[in-house]
Amino acid sequence: GGARVILDAGTHPQHDGFDTLPRLEDLPDDDVDGIIVTHAHHDHIGALPVVCRYFPQAPVYATEETLDIGEAMLHNSVNVMNAQRRELGIAAYPLYTHREIDEIAPGWLPRKFGQRFSLGPDGGLATTFLPAGHVLGAAGVVFRDAGRTVFYTGDVHFEDQTLCTAADFSNLEGDKLDALIIETTRGDSERRPDYTRESEVDRLINAIAETLDRGGSVMLPVFALGKTQELLLILHEAIRSGRLPSIPVHIGGLSTKITQLFDRLSDRVRRHHRGFRILDHFPELVVPSRKDPLPPYGPGRIYAISSGMMSENTVSNKFAHHFLPDPNNAILFVGYADPDTPGGRILAAEPGEKVSLNDRDAGRRLPVDCRVEKFDFSGHAPRDQLLDFILRTDPRHVLLVHGDAPARQWFIDQLAEKRPRMKITIPVPGEKISL
């Protein structure tokens, strides 16, 4: 019955200032009935305080894990924006303040997976979170109203990870989807036919062991939420099994705070290694002090430090000057790095080619003399599994989101062949779409 709901409130990772925000001017002038956040990565939650400022009466719904982690992510964003205002002169920052977060967070409303709750002026929009498998607490969202069903996958992974369990959308069985809003992140790349997570773990552990054997150190640029905790568990298991030596494993940046929250949520049903607390049960782990957030550099160590794309002003970016010129070292990427970021430039560089780590000091370039390799530990489903989900659910209308143009085009081509009568939409910002 006429419910108005905002799905996610993220910031654009490659823009600065007000350009990072969603186009709030396209939203209705009057209030909305709810704001739903599917998980706590910045591209889904980073603009939440600004959206709450626009719609102060709108309740915010997410899983408990997303709200706990998201609050910490937003406070960190304020710190980063304050630093960028000082160092880069971005006058728009901060877009919100610590005080603003503290004022709105107590009013957020946690909901459990599978728990039905109602939205809309008459409470007619039945809403349910389903486990999406992307990171801890990530949810897909199903809406049911007057015999119609709409499902938004959020970011989704259909396979078990080391920590996160696979998506479970079995709640949809028996539903005929009127509309499916689905991510397409990996649509422009095919996963190796022989890929298994176990073989990728083996490849990573072997690369680390080879680097340590020649007296070097390893840097794993990781995202603070999700990838850090997944990789720390992989390293812990490799050390316990004797595949890696018992050496210091350093973390830094926002990763420490988020790992503390993961540990506090260690008894959650929707995760593997229940009860395992990384900071308590991983004796080789070295946590930076408050006074010196940069870990000490030395040979024979592993550094799992954020950010995953080695963005400016992050620990991994500042640490790269130790690694790049030394052929004994290795930088091993375990997630996506945008080509326009320092991490992307390092991945694209030929051996010995010089790269810039800082746009403000582009004249200072370092040679890529260390080992550089990429590994597939993506938290996003490969395209064939997403396509299979579309075909199995057979929605009347599919909306392709969260992917670059080539990624979306792959799905358009596949669906045109396999479901020629299915309505396919690529949403344009500001466009009104009938579901």
Whole-number pLDDT of residue 2: 80
Please tell me the pTM assigned to this model: 0.94
Extract the runs of DSSP E, i.e. beta strands, from 228-318: 249-252, 285-286, 302-305
1 has pLDDT over 70: no
Element (H, E) at 315: helix 315-323
DSSP H helices, 142-254, are 197-213, 227-240
> Other C-beta atoms within 10 Å of 396: how many?
14
Give the closest residue to 223 by CA, choosing from 43, 370, 351: 43
End-to-end CA distance of the chain: 14
Look at 19-28, 88-97, 354-363 and tell me which has the smallest mean pLDDT.
Answer: 354-363
Q: Residue 145 and residue 138: Cα distance in Å, rounded?
A: 23
> Other C-beta atoms within 10 Å of 401: how many?
18
**Angstrom distances, CA of residue 365 to CA of 321, 325, 340, 346:** 10, 11, 15, 11
Structure tokens given for 100:
């603003």
Domain spanning 197-374: which CATH class is it, in words?
alpha beta
Q: How many residues does the chain have?
A: 435
Q: Residue 68 and residue 194: Cα distance in Å, rounded?
A: 37
Cβ within 8 Å of residue 289, ≥6 positions away: none
State the amino acid at position 26 in one-letter form. Answer: D
Q: Residue 298 and residue 125: Cα distance in Å, rounded?
A: 57
Specify whether the CB–CB gap between 299 and 217 falls below 8 A: yes
Specify whether the CB–CB gap between 163 and 276 falls below 8 A: no
Give the closest residue to 3 by CA, choosing from 165, 105, 117: 117
Domains 5-175 and 197-374 share a fold: no
Whole-number pLDDT of residue 362: 64
| Virtual torsion, Cα 225, 226, 228, 234, nearest 10 deg | 170
Q: Predicted confidence band at 7 (pLDDT cuts at 50, 70, 90)? A: very high
State the amino acid at position 22 in one-letter form. Answer: P
Domain 5-175 in CATH: superfamily? Ribonuclease Z/Hydroxyacylglutathione hydrolase-like (3.60.15.10)
358 has pLDDT over 90: no
Q: Predicted confidence band at 349 (pLDDT cuts at 50, 70, 90)? A: very high
Handedness of CA 197, 166, 12, 91 (dihedral sign): negative
pLDDT tens readout for residues 86-102: 988 999 999 999 999 99
Per domain, the residue ranges of the chain are: 5-175, 197-374
Q: Residue 251 and residue 141: Cα distance in Å, rounded?
A: 33
361 has pLDDT over 70: no
